[in-house]
Amino acid sequence: MRRWMFAVGLVSMGAVVMMLAPSASAQTGSITFDPSTVAAGGGKLFVNGKCEANTSGFVISHAFAKQPGGTEFAGVPALAITTGSDGSFGIGLTIDPSVPAGAYSVTLRCGGGLAASGTLHVTSLAATGAPLDELAIVGASVVAIGLAVVLLGRRRVHA
């Protein structure tokens, strides 16, 4: 009798654990970024993906803030997509200047569920122009030459 009660207890506990365990969400699609790293404040990229054919869905990420024609999905910026007969889609966009640099999770939802996810990297704008050290040296030299010209000019006037 004790063995039977012990076995029933183990089976019951196992069933409860299995019900509470998170189920693995099978992703049925794909998502890619071209390029996978984009500059903040005006970087352009293409988001391409695939999921169910002839359906609508959303590409969702905080990196897509303030996109023209954008919307929200569960409070997160989102872009609506429609797939073709082969299930593929593609959208082009420009990262808004308000989006800070960082790694952003991007999810693709279609057909009512999660189809794919990926990470988009937004980097700071690259420095352009002459290095600041060189500009400081040139600026200091111009100021020194200007002061020398002024001082030499005053000596000649007084002489």
DSSP string for residues in 83-104: --TTSEEEEEEE--TTSPSEEE
Rounded to an integer, what distance in angstroms lies between the CA atom of residue 39 and that of residue 129? Answer: 17
Q: Supply 37's token pair.
A: 């790293």
Rounded to an integer, what distance in angstroms lies between the CA atom of residue 158 and that of residue 152? Answer: 10
* pLDDT for 21 beyond 80: no
User: Could you give the domains of the chain?
Assistant: 30-123 (2.60.40.1930)
Average pLDDT of the residues in 33-44? 92
Tell me the pLDDT tens digit for each residue of 50-103.
Answer: 999 999 999 999 999 999 889 999 999 999 999 999 999 999 999 999 999 999
144: β partners: none
Question: In 3D, which of 48, 6, 5 has the Cα closest to residue 29?
Answer: 48
Cis peptide bond upstream of 35, omega within 30: yes
Which one is predicted more confidently, 19 or 116?
A: 116
Cβ within 8 Å of residue 11, ≥6 positions away:
none
